[in-house]
Amino acid sequence: MVPRYGAVGAAWGWVLLNAGYLLVGAQFLYKRTLPLEKWHWYWQDVALPIVAAGLTAFATKWLIPTPAGHIGQTFLLLTSAALIFLSAVVAASYVKNQFSLSIMKAINVAFSHTR
Q: What is the DSSP letter of 67?
A: P
Q: Any idea where the domains of the chain sit in the sequence?
A: 1-34, 36-114
Predicted TM-score of the model (pTM): 0.66
Condensed to tens digits (0 to 9), the pLDDT of residues 1-21 reads 888 889 999 999 999 999 998
What is the mean predicted confidence (pLDDT) over 68-78?
91
> Given this model, what pLDDT does residue 100 score?
83
What is the mean predicted confidence (pLDDT) over 40-48?
86
Please, are residues 93 and 46 in contact by the beta-carbon 8 Å criterion?
no
Cβ contacts of 80 within 8 Å, gap of 6 or more: 56, 57, 60, 61, 64
Residue 66, phi then psi, degrees to nearest 5? -80, 125
Condensed to tens digits (0 to 9), the pLDDT of residues 79-105 reads 999 999 999 988 887 777 887 888 888
Amino acid in the structure at residue 70: H
d(Cα 22, Cα 49) in Å, to the nearest integer? 14
Please, are residues 79 and 72 in contact by the beta-carbon 8 Å criterion?
no
Lowest mean pLDDT among 45-49, 50-54, 71-75, 97-101: 97-101
